[in-house]
Amino acid sequence: MASPTLADGHGGKVKVGLITTLTGGGAGLGVDIRDGFMLAIGQSGNENIEVVIEDDQRKPDVAVQLADKMIQSEKVDIMTGIVWSNLAMAVAPATTAQGKFYISANAGPAQLAGKGCHENYFNVAWQNDNLHEAAGAYATQAGYKNSFILAPNYPAGKDALTGYKRMFEGTPSGELYTKLGQTDYAAEIAQIRASDADSVYFFLPGGMGISFLKQYADSGIDLPVVGPAFSFDQGILQAVGEAALGVKNTSQWNKDLDNAANKAFVETFQAEFGRLPSLYASQGFDTANLILSAMAKADVKDADAFRAALKEADFESVRGDFKFGNNHHPIQNIYVREVIKEGDVYTNKIISTGLTAHQDVYAAECKM
């Protein structure tokens, strides 16, 4: 029997399982994804969507247990929210294998963009390499020839340095993989000092980036620093403070992007939560609005129709232009930002477009 809600354009109820990191070292990222997601749900006034939220504590085994519970007991239709690529690799393929949709609001491991792509897996954020590719392109434009590069030893860290090197025309003077969650970078900074580097590129999200930047600033090394947005995002900048000023970083979003959806998002997020939104909050917001846009066109129980509605991405993204490639990852602009100070608040401003309508390289390996 047809759902009575179909008459008003909503294809029945949708239950979303949002698993993200809400405690521990990376909690700020998950909190922002959750808050951005729930802000969009609240603004929609759509009572046909239910969201179940759980904390994965940044542990793959916990994430897997929660996902199994949500799919088996909670009977969710869609899973989302995971911050970290090692957790996404444990949860996303298991979710799609059970006929459910996984819509990533952050992690974009290469494995799921290329040969491991799946019709029920969508990524609203980016493929992991993308912001790093833009940084490599920027570093080349800036005339750097031998960057010292470092990242944590997990899937997104490998993707990061791979992406940077793909677009960087120089030769790295050193390449290091650090421990995930590391807080002491004395040994790495000593290696940078001893190298012939003319610049430093690092990907250290969350608390790792705060620790590194403060220690780097204290070291007296004055090599220019380039990074992806993850190490210079709104939630991190206040903790880093002056050490971040002037740093160039790459992002597909910033609060000064000039479109109506973004202006409204920044304003309402600040009013609701008393802080400026971050990259992660913007991704959570877009993810929820993508789901809502698909709900307006199809019933989630009709997987083919709902998938087609997701693929259309018929929503007002805070990024402006937004569309999916063949592998269900975004084709989008990536910008170069500079860390500035507005009053007492450290934040970013866009200074140029790093890559225009950029698609990840792995899409060519996806058979969709």
Q: Where are the beta strands (DSSP E) in the chain?
A: 14-20, 49-55, 78-80, 101-104, 121-123, 147-152, 174-178, 199-202, 225-228, 248-251, 323-324, 330-342, 345-358
Look-up: residue for tokens 């290329």? 114
pLDDT score, position 11 = 54
pLDDT score, position 231 = 86
pLDDT at 357 > cutoff 70: yes
Bridge partners (DSSP) listed for residue 340: 347
Q: How far is C-alpha 148 from the chain's CA centre?
A: 24
Bridge partners (DSSP) listed for residue 79: 17, 102
The mean pLDDT of 1-7, rounded to a whole number, is 38
pLDDT at 2 > cutoff 60: no
- What's the pTM value of the predicted model, to 2 decimals? 0.92
- Reduced 3-state DSSP string for 318-355: CCECCEECCCCCEEEEEEEEEEEEECCEEEEEEEEEEE
Within a 10 A sphere around the Cβ of 70, how many other Cβ atoms?
Answer: 23
Q: Which of 200, 209, 143, 196 is nearest to 176 (CA)?
A: 200
Q: Which amino acid is at 13?
A: K
Q: What mean pLDDT, rounded, does the chain reach?
A: 94
What are the tens digits of pLDDT across the range 9-20? 445 899 999 999
